[in-house]
Amino acid sequence: MEAGDPGGAGNDRADRRLSADGQLAIDSTVELRSDDRTADEALAELELTFGVKDRHAGAAARAGRRAIDLARAHRDSVQADQRPLLANGRRRELTERNMVPIRDFGMFETELFVRRLGDSHAQFGKVARFISVGESAARGKGEQLAALAASEAQMRRYAERREQARSPPPVVSFVGVKPGSELYGPTIDWLFRDMLGKPLDPSAVARRISAIYGRGGLDTLDYHVVGDDDRYGLELDARPSSLGRTYMRFGLALQDDFQGNSSFNAAVRFVVTDVTRNGGEWVTDLNVGSVAGISTELFLPLAQFSGWFVMPHALDMSHDLDYVQGQTLLAQYRVHTFDYGLDFGRQFGNWGEIRTGIVREQGHFRLEIGDPNDPNIPDLAAQPFDTTNFFVRFTYDRLDDINFPHRGQQAVLQWTAIRDVSGSAPSSDQVTLNYLAAHTFGRNTLVFSASGGMTLQAQPTDINLLFPLGGFLNLSGLRADSLFGPNFGITRLLYYRQIGRGGPGYLDLPTYIGASFEVGNVWQQRSEASLSNTEKNASLFLGIDTLLGPVYLATGFDAHGNQEFYLFLGRTF
């Protein structure tokens, strides 16, 4: 017996995705045909195509092997004596009395689909056509077929015998690993030891297989029920990632508003997995461009699969900050930040997390564009900051895709306390909430999103504590980050339609066309917030889901005649 999707990762690396429930989904298609070739020739071709000698091939190959088994059984059954058995086990000769020809189809055709979870676009037109033709032909032979039908009493006895023949699930007597999987032996033993002495529960085993696979670091993970008539157990086959315990990832982000304002960011991430026996992970990011610097974090689970963790982290980063009045850029600052801190929290499966922590943040501003003598430009260079921040954050995430979600929900609620170390600035507490829900019908998707934040004390003097709005999907008709305030709120309604399905080729990418409607603003006082003084914006966009992230070509406009254009590569949800 094999586990569900996690065991099918294999080498289908380009087509695998982790869905919202942690299961691995595979998108591939296998088509088997038997026409003028002999059964042996067709079977040989199938075995050559799917590499049956490779026991650790991908899901598509595994599906092909199952099809091979079916094809072999079909060949053998055709070659064997197919006379029906009588009650005493002897075979009965087939005559015209117990054979009713329905229709000669001329060829036998089978299509096996292994489709992505939730994909409703599989084409079964040929299958439906054969079913329809066969059904019509069979109804025309109704009287002849009725003579061969079993009686109700015979069917009832048959059903009773079938139920009696079914045996209960075996009791799990041991848990082991295959040769080559010894590294994961302690983890597997710890995770499955409470199943010993109990009847096998395939669903529970699949959930735990998903939990192990979801930690990463594995290419494949299968389990089998092994043993004899007296003793059964689980044997797991875990194959480590071909990337190894240490690997790198690369990222690229570009943005242009077609008015001379553009940004560029490139990043490389270094990942070291299994740094502790509980599955710790060390991640370091290097960035160049509009955002430049280095950050590192060490994720340390406190126990195997307990969910509890601690995470020390540090960051040294610089980024650009535009100072805009109306829609006119007056100045641009370079903000340098150094922070370090410690987080503590618990993860709930693959759907949620609660986290708290403390962060010490220091930094300063440097004027890069603008006249330092302009009275309309604040002298931020003379205002270094040094704060200690405490936070509590709860995250719920059931989205199926972070780039172009089709179903699920995501919510993040956070409270942050900012305390100035020097004591010269007043204390500040802020609360933020972000929510997103997606629903798909056919190729069409609706997304509702809402974000809000408020400052509980008096208006902060530190510009770092102000919430920005403006830019694509954040009041799309306004310049990016052109609005700042201690309180903000925005709701978005997005619609997009998939016009390109994607496929195995590098250029066969999922493509979407859509529109958004956005309502929001920033306010100096919470009492000022109302629907009557919000900005109403909209956008039209073309989106492509690529290996580097989503690509958008969009235009945004507002009720005052402002219009912005965007070329964007990167995540925006």
Identify the H or E element spanning 49: helix 39-50
| Helix (H), strand (E) at residue 189 | helix 185-192
**Integer Cα distance of 1 and 25 in angstroms:** 19
Taking Cα atoms as reference points, which of 323, 335, 350, 365 lies closest to residue 410? 350
Work out the burial of residue 38: count CB atoms within 10 Å of its CB; fewer than 13 is exposed, 13-18 middle, 19 or more buried: exposed
**Cβ(181)–Cβ(236) below 8 Å:** yes
- Alpha carbon distance 414, 434 (integer Å): 9
Token digits of residue 443: 């190729």
Residue 317's pLDDT is: 95
Asked if residues 562 and 477 have their Cβ atoms less than 8 Å apart, the reply is yes
Tokens of 501: 């399905």
Contact 251, 266 (CB under 8 A): yes
Q: Residue 570's pLDDT is what?
A: 67
Write 265-270 long-range contacts (CB < 8 A, 24+). 265/289, 265/290, 265/291, 265/570, 270/246
**DSSP assignment of 120-186, as one string?**
-----HHHHHHHHHHHHHHHTTHHHHHHHPPPHHHHHHHHHHHHHHPPPPPBEEEEEE-TT-GGGHH
Alpha-carbon gap, residue 150 to 156, rounded angstroms? 10
Per-residue pLDDT of the chain (573 residues; tens, 9 = 90+): 433 333 333 333 333 333 333 333 333 333 333 344 455 555 555 445 444 444 344 444 445 555 555 555 555 554 444 444 444 444 445 555 556 665 554 444 433 333 333 333 334 445 556 677 777 777 777 777 777 777 888 888 888 777 765 667 888 888 888 888 877 788 788 888 888 888 888 888 888 888 777 777 778 888 888 887 678 888 888 887 777 788 888 888 887 777 777 788 888 999 998 888 888 899 999 999 889 999 999 999 998 778 899 999 999 999 988 888 877 888 888 999 999 999 999 998 788 999 999 999 999 999 888 888 888 888 887 778 899 999 999 999 999 988 899 999 999 999 999 988 877 777 889 999 999 999 999 999 999 999 999 998 767 767 888 899 998 999 999 988 889 899 999 999 999 999 877 655 555 788 999 999 999 999 988 888 888 899 999 999 999 988 778 899 999 999 888 888 998 886 543
Q: Which burial class, exposed, middle or buried, applies to 120 when counting CB atoms under 10 A from its CB (0-12, 13-18, 19+)?
A: exposed
Helix, coil or strand: residue 11: coil
Q: Which is nearest to 314 in space by CA: 275, 279, 364, 357?
A: 357
Nearest Cα residue to 537 out of 566, 509, 513:
566
Residues 417 and 390: their CA atoms lie apart, in Å, by: 5
- HEC profile of 446-486: EEEEEEEEEECCCCCCCHHHCEEECCCCCCCCCCCCCEEEC
**Residue holding tokens 């019509």?**
136
Strands (E), 400-443: 408-420, 428-441
Q: What sign does the dihedral 421-427-431-432 (CA atoms) show?
A: negative
β-pairing, 535-546 with 511-523? Answer: antiparallel
Q: Which of 287, 207, 161 is nearest to 23 (CA)?
A: 207
In contact, 566 and 540? CB cutoff 8 Å: no
φ, ψ at 253 (rounded to 5°)? -135, 130
pLDDT attached to residue 311:
97
Measured CA angle at 359 (ends 358, 365), to 5 deg: 160
- Residue 259 is predicted with a pLDDT of 74
**Three-state SS at 194:** helix
Architecture of domain 246-569: Beta Barrel (2.40)
d(CA 473, CA 89): 72
Report the alpha-carbon distance of residue 323 to residue 383 in Å, rounded: 15
Question: How crowded is residue 28: how many other Cβ atoms within 10 Å of its Cβ?
Answer: 20
Give the class (CATH, top level) of 172-240: alpha beta
Q: How many CA atoms lie within 13 A of 346 on its CB side?
A: 5
State how beta strands 428-441 and 246-256 pair: unpaired
Tokens of 375: 């009275």
Residues of the chain with CATH 2.40.160.50: 246-569
pTM (2 d.p.): 0.67
What's the full length of the chain, in residues? 573
**Tokens 């060829």 sit at which residue?**
107
Answer yes or no: are the C-beta atoms of 388 and 396 closer than 8 Å. Answer: no
- Report which secondary-structure segment, H or E, holds 202: helix 202-214
Return the bridge partners of 288, or none.
Answer: 266
Q: Where exactly does CATH 3.10.20.310 map onto the chain?
A: 172-240
Longest pairwise C-alpha distance within the chain: 107
Phi, psi of 180 (to 5 degrees): 95, -10
